Structure 1
Amino acid sequence: MADFLFYGHQAGWTSGFFGFLLIGAFTIHNPGTLETRAGRIISLLMIVQCGLLVEKTSLLSIFLIVIGTVSLAIISKGGLQKDAMAWIGKLASFFLFLLHPLSKAAIAYRKYQRRVMPQNTLEIFMRGWLLPVLLFFMFLLLFSSANPIITRWVSFVNPEFVVKHFSLGRLFFWVLAGAAIFAVIRPKLRAQKARRLAAPKEADEPKPMGLTEWVFTKEAVLRSLVIFNLMFACQTALDINYLWAGADLPKGITYAQYAQQGAYPLIVTALLAAVFVLITQNADPEISGSRIVRGLIYLWVMQNVLLVVSSIYRTNMYVEVYALTYWRVAAFIWMGLVAMGLCWIIVRSLLNKSNSWLINANVLTLLGVLYITSFVNIGGMIAHYNVMHSKEISGKGIYLDINYLKSVGSAAFPALKIYAERGWQKRPHSLSADDEYVSIGFMYVTLHRDLQNWRRWTYSEYRLLKSLESQE
């Protein structure tokens, strides 16, 4: 019901309606609450607030309903004390254990494992296909959001529910909404101080199977790797054909659209693949030691590296059409680090190194890249690229965004000097509001003012000021 009323929609009267439903569900599950005077008063006040939300949307009313609902939960667990600090403490305790229902689900799963009967055909089938099917649809969702061609293919198959209605955001919403509603109806306000003594286990009682062990069977991993390699090969073939070979895109799809749409989802795909590989390599030796599994993993990781390279190329194509920014420079660096991380996974597997070694290698790579990057004048590089690729100078792309170069600061001045000499005159009059910023006189005045403060002084700006003085 929360999904139907709120997910992807702005809240209006539905907030009040959902409040009525929540109060009703709570009362049915905790009828004793209405036997107390405080419970009746709070319930009445909440009903009034729900009616008010039907009348008008108010964050204050929503806040009061949340506090009132939690107060009812406190009453159901032992009464509402008159001490305000005790009440606040119990409110804090409630929110602290808001996600306790998730731990209850894990406990229920462990109880099931203790009572589990010998595996039947259905469970064997589920363990063998649950992982590949779930991850297949997850990667299909990412690929369809990254590649307009795959989106078009999916539309032919028309899996309406998967493409239109299922998303990671919706799944996250379900988990949070379900946990919050369950926590209100069956609250847990404090951790149990005394633990029950566990019954002595029989010597021959098997150890309960963990969730990862249950899902990551050898059959499931093999099927997953075969499916994933085929899916990624399809994406790689499309990139080779349309990005690298320059084949004509299907009608209605531009290169800018193909490039922009895919860069970031493909990086997410590569990260998910890395997580899968790490879990697989730390699984049962029968799985991690299998030559077939290792071969498929190496092939898949290399395809992921190609995917990251493709993402870098896509971002570069997009930058060529539009412009370079700090965020896009950071994206290039991040993509390179992801590619290096994938390569380190292969090296770790070949050398039989530990997870600590892998973490150390990635951290050292990150620190090394950041250290080297600190020597680069990124602002000046961005300004020079945008000036030289502006429509005024290159004849292609878009007109120079002078407002953005203002945010870059004095590092943009050398590039703006070039622009003042070669591109300023070609700028349309409709975009000439910032023309004074391009003048050498303005740059000189700005630098001179900044360098008057000895704490603000830098050698690079001093050199730039002297260069401008020589042109005055």
Structure 2
Amino acid sequence: MTTLPIPSYCSRFGLAVLLVALADFLFYGQPAGINFLLFAILIAGAIVAVHPSAFSDARLWLKPAALLVALLPLVENVSPLSVSIALVGLAVFALSLAGRLRSSLARIAGQLSVFLLSAPFRLIRDFFRWRKAARRLGLRRIRLAAIAVWVMPLALGAVFLALFGAANPVIEYWFTLIDLFALLDLIQPARLVFWLLVLAGVWAFLRPRLPRIVRRLPRLALTVPPVAPPPTKSVTTIEDIVFGKAAILRALIVFNILFAMQTGLDATYLWGGVALPDGLTYAAYAHRGAYPLIVTALLAAGFVLAALRPGSETSNDPLIRRLVYAWVAQNIVLVISSILRLDLYVGIYALTYLRIAAFVWMGLVAAGLALIIARIALGKSSEWLLSANLLTLSATLYACSYINFAALIANYNVDHSYEMNGPGTSLDLWYVRSLGPSALPALDRFFDHQQKVFLADRRDGVDAMTEARYRTIQRNWRAWSFRDWRLLRYLDRNGALANPAVFEPYVPGR
């Protein structure tokens, strides 16, 4: 049995403690910004330091280059999405340097999921492994008894010291120089929890390991003895009848007819401009169908994957394949119709984060359906389909990390509002202001238009307060990001604090 390298544990733990101290300096009680990028670079450097053998790889530069791509969204803006991308990039970087990363994208995704889920518990598990290794090597271990023997001496020593302080004015004076409450303030429970969480998270990257059951799965799959095929039977079961080739053929014919009817209705009312029945508005028609149609497309995708399994009898039938192509194509049209429905609804009732997420989700569903057609046409495996979908999802999320959705929502809602002569309803000022400082440029345009039309200033100072708080946060260098830098440049030219007279309080009837 191989033994654990105890010195490596000590050096890695020292690095982890150093990273915890740096995390306390960068994060605790500080705003979010460039500090996330700096800490990610520090973790990457520590990962390289504990894997010196990785320098022997001739293609080593590819791994830091890929990590840099994953960290770039943190330069643009710090958000849950950019932080998640950075965590995934660091996990891939650590596992690749440790030589534990597989080649297939689908398998890599499984490894990353298990790694990130087990990361908080890696430190505890390694602590017990260290104790076992130390016992095997005969090293001295810290026992509970060794700690307990100090309880009585320290307790009595504290009592004696207190008595000496009462009896000796010099010792009493020394006690007055010690601010016990200040010392207790330094030991904050929240700060201790923060240190422990950072230590557990950093340790997982310094010792990138996967649970033992995950490492054994490939070997178990190879050592399982082949099972003899059961004797063929000519008995037809209920399952063969209900889910057999004939049933799937009939289902595809019925499904194609139903979907063609739905597509025809959308083409008539949404694209053709035919008048709707009395009492039904285009907004209601669009909103009621947007999300159920996506569920329908997902169910259709599941049916196609189950019906045309690679190597099955149905997958080799030309007629069934053509019907599947037609049906999946109709599903893609259905998803496009859902996007148009949602676009009509947003044009009237404004844009929100959830509706943007719905647009992105619908696009991913359409791409997934197209990939199903590609898998069937090219004869690829289910693992290829999963890898292709994961690649599409990753590329989409990575692109979204560079988009300022708050500014996008604010600009759209202002431009399409009733007050700006748009087709939408009145602007929801409370929601737009809740988007944060990124909405200030759009609000400036809105109020400028209000001033020109109504010859009165509708600003009430709320936006000036928002800008003042934002500028206060941005004075801390840790809060820097490229997006905030661009917004500060705009505020320096056009903001309330740059032009105080613009934000005079509004007095009714003035």
TM (normalized to structure 2)? 0.49
**Aligned partner (choices 298, 314, 319) of residue 292 of structure 1:** 319
* Residue deviations 1:226-247 (CA, integer Å, cap 9, x gap): 1111100000000000001111
Contact 1:444 1:465 in 2 (8 A): no
Contact 1:392 1:426 in 2 (8 A): no
* SS of residue matched to 1:264: helix
**Aligned partner (choices 476, 492, 506) of residue 453 of structure 1:** 476
Distance 1:293 1:402 in 2: 54
* SS of residue matched to 1:391: coil
**Per-residue deviation at 1:459?**
3.7
Alignment of 1:70-469 (within 5 A): 206=233, 213=240, 215-282=242-309, 285-423=312-450, 435-438=460-463, 441-469=464-492
Matched, 1:470 2:462: no
* SS of residue matched to 2:424: coil
- Identical columns (%): 46
* SS of residue matched to 1:250: coil
Residue identity matched to 2:427: L
**Per-residue deviation at 1:209?**
7.8
* Residue deviations 1:286-309 (CA, integer Å, cap 9, x gap): 322111111110000000000000
Contact 1:447 1:461 in 2 (8 A): no
Q: Evaluate the alpha carbon distance shift between residue 424 and residue 436 of structure 1 in structure 2; reply closer, same or farther with a 3 A threshold.
A: farther
Contact 1:262 1:311 in 2 (8 A): yes
Unpaired segments of 5 or more residues in structure 2? 1-227, 500-510
Q: Evaluate the alpha carbon distance shift between residue 445 and residue 298 of structure 1 in structure 2; reply closer, same or farther with a 3 A threshold.
A: same
Q: Evaluate the alpha carbon distance shift between residue 281 and residue 250 of structure 1 in structure 2; reply closer, same or farther with a 3 A threshold.
A: same
**Per-residue deviation at 1:215?**
2.8
Distance 1:306 1:202 in 2: 43
**Per-residue deviation at 1:205?**
7.0
**Per-residue deviation at 1:467?**
2.7
* SS of residue matched to 2:427: coil
Distance 2:326 2:266 in 1: 17
**Per-residue deviation at 1:469?**
3.0
Distance 1:304 1:250 in 2: 25
* SS of residue matched to 2:313: helix
**Per-residue deviation at 1:435?**
3.9
Distance 1:360 1:227 in 2: 31
Contact 1:344 1:362 in 2 (8 A): yes
* Residue deviations 1:351-395 (CA, integer Å, cap 9, x gap): 101001100110000001111111111111111101111111024
Q: Evaluate the alpha carbon distance shift between residue 225 and residue 452 of structure 1 in structure 2; reply closer, same or farther with a 3 A threshold.
A: same
Contact 2:253 2:323 in 1 (8 A): yes
**Per-residue deviation at 1:463?**
3.5
**Per-residue deviation at 1:212?**
5.6
Contact 1:450 1:457 in 2 (8 A): no
Distance 2:252 2:297 in 1: 14
Residue identity matched to 2:409: I
Aligned length: 266
Q: Evaluate the alpha carbon distance shift between residue 358 and residue 459 of structure 1 in structure 2; reply closer, same or farther with a 3 A threshold.
A: closer
Q: Evaluate the alpha carbon distance shift between residue 443 and residue 270 of structure 1 in structure 2; reply closer, same or farther with a 3 A threshold.
A: same
**Per-residue deviation at 1:285?**
3.2
Distance 2:440 2:479 in 1: 17
**Per-residue deviation at 1:460?**
2.9
Contact 2:347 2:423 in 1 (8 A): no
Q: Evaluate the alpha carbon distance shift between residue 288 and residue 202 of structure 1 in structure 2; reply closer, same or farther with a 3 A threshold.
A: closer
Distance 1:463 1:353 in 2: 46
Distance 2:393 2:238 in 1: 32
TM (normalized to structure 1)? 0.52
Contact 2:406 2:435 in 1 (8 A): yes
Higher Rg of the two aligned structures: 2
Distance 1:298 1:256 in 2: 32
**Per-residue deviation at 1:210?**
8.2
Q: CA RMSD in A?
A: 2.7
Q: Evaluate the alpha carbon distance shift between residue 206 and residue 385 of structure 1 in structure 2; reply closer, same or farther with a 3 A threshold.
A: same
Distance 1:202 1:356 in 2: 25
Distance 2:234 2:391 in 1: 39
* Residue deviations 1:307-342 (CA, integer Å, cap 9, x gap): 000000000000000111111111101000000000
**Per-residue deviation at 1:447?**
2.3
Distance 1:208 1:403 in 2: 68
**Per-residue deviation at 1:250?**
1.2
Contact 1:263 1:314 in 2 (8 A): yes
Residue identity matched to 2:492: E
Contact 1:216 1:283 in 2 (8 A): no
Q: Evaluate the alpha carbon distance shift between residue 224 and residue 426 of structure 1 in structure 2; reply closer, same or farther with a 3 A threshold.
A: farther
Distance 1:206 1:287 in 2: 20
Distance 1:417 1:320 in 2: 21
* SS of residue matched to 1:423: helix
* Residue deviations 1:386-420 (CA, integer Å, cap 9, x gap): 11111110243111112212221111111111112
